[in-house]
Structure 1
Amino acid sequence: MAAVLSFVFVVAAWIMLYWDSFPSLLRRWNTADYSYCWLVVPLAAYVAWQRRDLLPKVITPSTGSGYIALLLCGVLFFLGKASAVDAMVFVSMWLAVVSLVLFVYGWRSMKAFFFPLLVLAFAVPPPQFINRTLTFKLRLISSDLSVRIMQFIDIPGFREGNVIDLGVIQLHVVDACSGLRFVFPTILLGILIGYWFNTRAWQRIFIILSTVPTAIFTNALRIAIVGYLARNVSVETAESFFHDASGLVIYVLSIVLLASLSLMLNLLGGRLPEQRAASRPGYHGHSTGRAWHMFFMAIVLGGYLAGNMYLLTGRVIPHRTSFDNFPMEIGNYEGKREFYGDNVLKSLGSDDYLAGVFRDKESGRDILVLVTYYDYQESQRAAHNPVSCLLGGGGWSLESSRDLPPDPQVGRPFKVRQLLLDKPGQRLLAYYWFQQRGRVITDEYMNKVFLAVDSITKQRTDGALIRVELLLNKGETAEQGRKVLENFIKNFSIRLKPYIPE
């Protein structure tokens, strides 16, 4: 009875600790990229039930490893909260479950629970930077392979970056239309197929290693099919297939390919007989010891909750001037403010913003400006790398990204990150930087580090993200466009000081 009550206390403390993180997690699960996560928890529970006979007959709690996992859980929780990185908080959730398993069943039970816990880890959506970096590189490989397939079947095609020109149609392989959004569920699928249908370790490893090449090949085949339809049926049919039905079709094809590979490996290498322990009528252990460790775990989780509430109540929000009073005439530039609707403001999550277009009175060149300011930053309302926003909206493809060092000679005493983006017929030059509590930072991850440090040492998480963008004229080089942006920034950056506290 004591063990049951302690278990209830742990579950209640776990729910209370992560209560404000559940909406963020479910929001990620509801996106097209991570909708597979809804199946992960029941899958993990089913696999754990399948492996219950592998539990040791005598159960001894592993207190040392359990408390280490619990400590790591707290470290990741506070780091995730302080730096506004949801992924750390989500991993902390998973580590709390691992800690509970160690307290209840012990380290020897990992023979039964390691695989279910591995499956459960896929319920944690990976950080955006991992997804963005991985899929960006894989899209380039997939696009190149698709062109080679089309050329093999005598369909002319030309690739430039992620744009594939078929003559009658141009395909822009962006994240939203890429079959590579199935990379992570394909990896999970390979793990499950290897577990259920193969018994030799080398076969399972081979299947898992085959998942990413399978995702690349099927996506390339999808694009090649679109090319065939465009040339031999109609452009409308090709576009409909590319944007609508092809993703699901390709994922089903991935299942067929991996299942066929599993069958082939069994035919070539044989299948070991499954070694299952005899059914055990019951398990024995020290229930009183487990109860005390679970009860103490509940107290520790409650302590984490209290610590988080203390950090929130001690938050410092500095005084500043509102962007409502920002001057819209800067040197030779005359600006016109833009105001966003509720949906855009909700996605920004900022407390104040400046959006507008500044036009050079002499040349007529327009410079787009967006400054988002946050009184405090936390999950779902924090300054973030704008690359994903630029790539996700408007069909832009990233051509290059690099830091520009401070250049006092042109009136810019701080470094900025330069982005060069393109899409058919257009090129965009963009600068951005994080201006946060007296620092100018261009690296998103260093920004998160300083956010965590200042949250603890200063109890401040305020800051801003500044973006300036210029559409390049036809034939204009990035170097020429850079001179236009530098000329604007030298006056604009000085005007920002009253609006972004140091």
Structure 2
Amino acid sequence: MAAVLSFISVVAAWVALYWDSFPPLLRRWNTDDYSYCWLVVPLAIYVAWQRKDLLPKVLTPSSGSGYLVLLLGGLLFFLGKAAAVDALVFVSMWLCVVALVLFVYGWRSMKAFFFPLLVLAFAVPPPPFINRTLTFELRLISSDISVRIMQFIDIPVFREGNVIDLGVIQLHVVDACSGLRYVFPTILLGILMGYWFNSRTWQRVLVILSTVPTAIFTNALRIAIVGYLARNVSVETAESFFHDASGIVIYLLSIVVLATWSLLLNLLGGRKAEQRADSRPGYYGPPTGRALHIFIMAAVLGLFFAGNQYLLTGRVVPERISFDHFPLQIGDYSGKREYYDENVLRSLGSDDYLAGVFSGKQSGRDILVLVTYYDYQEPQRAAHNPVSCLLGGGGWSLASSRDLPADPQSGRPFKVRRLLLDKPGQRLLAFYWFQQRGRVITDEYMNKVYLAVDSVTRQRTDGSLVRVELLLEDGESVEHGQKVLDNFIKNFSTRLKPYIPE
């Protein structure tokens, strides 16, 4: 009875602690890139059931290790909340499950539970910066390989960055092909293939190492098939395949490739019978102390919950002026406000924003402005690096990214991050900076550090992201465009002060 009550109490405490983290986690699972996560939990449970015979005859709880993992989970929970990084909160969820396994079964059971816990870790979507740094490069590689395949089968094609021009149709690979959509589920597939079909460690390692090349090649093949259909069947058929059936077909092909490779490795190296500790399922050692440790874990999770509520109630939201009153005449520039629809506002997650186009009377140049402001920042509603937004559509590719030091001569007294994006026939110059609680920061990771520190020391997480963009003219140098933006920022930045609290 004590064991049942302790288990109910720890589950209730775990659900209460992470209650507000489930919606963002499920939203990530509902996206195309992470829809495979819905299968992870039942897969992990099934694999754990398969490996129950590997449990030792006597199970001894590992209380020291369990409390250490539990405290690490609590640390990541508070750090994720303070720095507005939901990936840390999701990892904290997983660590609590690991701690519970240690309290119930102990380290000696890890031979049985290590692999199911590894599979369960795939339920945690990776942080967005991995998406940005990994996916974009994979798309470039997939684009290049797909063009080579099409050229090999005599399809005339031209590639510029992530835009593939077939004459009858243009494929914007940035929008339509997500390398992440195939890479992470293919890695999980490779891990499961190695576990189910191979028994030797070196065979499993080779299967896992082949997953990323398989994902890249099959994704490139998908694009090449679209090119073939567009040239030899019809554009309508190509577009229909591209948006509807291609993902299923390509993933089935990945399964066939990995299964064939796994079976081939078995032919080369042979299978080895897996040694099991005991063939009698459900044979447990003395339960002494197990229920007590689980009750203590529930109490610790309750303390984490109380601490988080205390931090939330003490949060400071400074007074400020709304962007509704922001002046639209800044020096030589006249502005025109733009207003986003509900879907865009939901994705921004900001409490206030300024968006518009400022046109210079003398220069005739248009400068796009976006300032998002947050009364407080938390996972899923925080200022973030705008690179993924700029690269998210329109076929833009990132040509360069670097910090520009403060330039008092031009009237810009702080440093900014400069981005240069290009696509066939166009170049876009963008400056951005994080303006948060009296600091101007260009590094996203340092911004998260200050966010966590200020959350604890000042109980403030308010802040803003400022972004200005200029479309470069034909033949215009980046340095000249930079001077145009600097001249605008000179007056624009001083006007922001009443709207972004210091």
> Which TM-score band applies after superposition, normalised by the shorter structure?
over 0.9
Q: How far apart, in 2, do the equivalents of 1:325 and 1:26 lie?
A: 37
Q: How far apart, in 2, do the equivalents of 1:223 and 1:476 lie?
A: 34
- 1:119-149 deviation line (CA, Å, top 9, x unaligned): 0000000001112211111122222222222
Q: CA RMSD in A?
A: 1.5
- 1:290-309 to structure 2, matched below 5 A, reads 290-309=290-309
Give the partner amino acid of 2:82.
A
Q: How far apart, in 2, do the equivalents of 1:60 and 1:450 lie?
A: 43
Instruction: Answer yes or no: is the 8 Å Cα contact 1:176–1:392 preserved in 2.
Output: no
Q: How far apart, in 2, do the equivalents of 1:484 and 1:247 lie?
A: 44
Further displaced range: 78-87 or 353-362:
353-362
Aligned position for 1:191: 191
Deviation at 1:393, TM superposition (A): 3.6
Deviation at 1:281, TM superposition (A): 5.6
Aligned position for 2:148: 148
Deviation at 1:427, TM superposition (A): 2.3
Give the partner amino acid of 1:329.
Q
- 1:348-382 deviation line (CA, Å, top 9, x unaligned): 21111111111101232111111111111111111
Give the partner amino acid of 2:220.
A
Aligned position for 2:6: 6
- 1:107-126 deviation line (CA, Å, top 9, x unaligned): 00000000000000000000
Aligned position for 1:224: 224
Q: How far apart, in 2, do the equivalents of 1:434 and 1:179 lie?
A: 29
Q: How far apart, in 1, do the equivalents of 2:427 and 2:84 lie?
A: 32
SS of alignment partner, residue 420 of structure 1: strand
Deviation at 1:223, TM superposition (A): 1.9
Q: How far apart, in 1, do the equivalents of 2:244 and 2:424 lie?
A: 22
SS of alignment partner, residue 467 of structure 1: strand
- 1:219-273 deviation line (CA, Å, top 9, x unaligned): 1212222222233233333333333322221111111100110111111111112
Task: Tell me which stretches of 4 or more aligned residues in structure 1 moved more than 4 Å.
Answer: none
Aligned residues: 502
- 1:47-95 deviation line (CA, Å, top 9, x unaligned): 0000011111111000111111001001100000000100000000000
Question: Normalising to structure 2: TM-score of the pair?
Answer: 0.97
SS of alignment partner, residue 58 of structure 1: coil
List runs of 5+ in structure 2 lacking aligned partners. Answer: none
Give the partner amino acid of 2:151.
Q
SS of alignment partner, residue 475 of structure 1: coil
- 1:35-74 to structure 2, matched below 5 A, reads 35-74=35-74
Aligned position for 1:463: 463
Q: How far apart, in 2, do the equivalents of 1:477 and 1:254 lie?
A: 45
Aligned position for 2:403: 403
- 1:215-294 to structure 2, matched below 5 A, reads 215-280=215-280, 282-294=282-294
Instruction: Answer yes or no: is the 8 Å Cα contact 1:149–1:221 preserved in 2.
Output: yes
Give the partner amino acid of 1:383.
A
Pair 1:481 & 2:487 matched: no
Further displaced range: 334-343 or 472-481:
472-481
Aligned position for 1:449: 449
Aligned position for 1:368: 368
Instruction: Answer yes or no: is the 8 Å Cα contact 2:186–2:211 preserved in 1.
Output: yes
Pair 1:89 & 2:104 matched: no
Pair 1:128 & 2:125 matched: no
Q: How far apart, in 1, do the equivalents of 2:370 and 2:182 lie?
A: 33
Give the partner amino acid of 1:443.
D
Instruction: Answer yes or no: is the 8 Å Cα contact 1:331–1:491 preserved in 2.
Output: yes
Identity of aligned residues (%): 83
Instruction: Answer yes or no: is the 8 Å Cα contact 2:54–2:277 preserved in 1.
Output: yes
Instruction: Answer yes or no: is the 8 Å Cα contact 2:131–2:180 preserved in 1.
Output: no
Give the partner amino acid of 2:95.
L
Aligned position for 1:157: 157
Instruction: Answer yes or no: is the 8 Å Cα contact 2:55–2:278 preserved in 1.
Output: no
- 1:8-53 deviation line (CA, Å, top 9, x unaligned): 1111100000001000100100001000000000000000000011
Further displaced range: 232-241 or 248-257:
232-241
- 1:424-439 to structure 2, matched below 5 A, reads 424-439=424-439
Give the partner amino acid of 2:134.
L
Distance 1:141 1:84, change over 3 A: same
Q: How far apart, in 1, do the equivalents of 2:78 and 2:180 lie?
A: 32
Q: How far apart, in 1, do the equivalents of 2:384 and 2:370 lie?
A: 13
Q: How far apart, in 1, do the equivalents of 2:314 and 2:287 lie?
A: 41
Further displaced range: 326-335 or 170-179:
170-179
Aligned position for 1:339: 339
Q: How far apart, in 1, do the equivalents of 2:487 and 2:246 lie?
A: 47
Instruction: Answer yes or no: is the 8 Å Cα contact 2:87–2:126 preserved in 1.
Output: yes
Aligned position for 2:203: 203
Q: How far apart, in 2, do the equivalents of 1:66 and 1:438 lie?
A: 41
Q: How far apart, in 2, do the equivalents of 1:175 and 1:267 lie?
A: 41
Deviation at 1:394, TM superposition (A): 3.4
Q: How far apart, in 2, do the equivalents of 1:139 and 1:363 lie?
A: 38
SS of alignment partner, residue 389 of structure 1: helix
Q: How far apart, in 2, do the equivalents of 1:70 and 1:173 lie?
A: 42
Distance 1:113 1:331, change over 3 A: same
Distance 1:34 1:210, change over 3 A: same
- 1:388-413 deviation line (CA, Å, top 9, x unaligned): 22222434332222211111111111
Pair 1:325 & 2:304 matched: no
Further displaced range: 470-479 or 124-133:
470-479
Q: How far apart, in 2, do the equivalents of 1:140 and 1:340 lie?
A: 31
Instruction: Answer yes or no: is the 8 Å Cα contact 1:180–1:215 preserved in 2.
Output: no
Q: How far apart, in 2, do the equivalents of 1:176 and 1:167 lie?
A: 18
Deviation at 1:179, TM superposition (A): 5.1
Deviation at 1:175, TM superposition (A): 4.9
Instruction: Answer yes or no: is the 8 Å Cα contact 2:41–2:123 preserved in 1.
Output: yes
List runs of 5+ in structure 1 lacking aligned partners. Answer: none
Q: How far apart, in 2, do the equivalents of 1:471 and 1:450 lie?
A: 32
Deviation at 1:311, TM superposition (A): 0.6
Distance 1:66 1:180, change over 3 A: closer
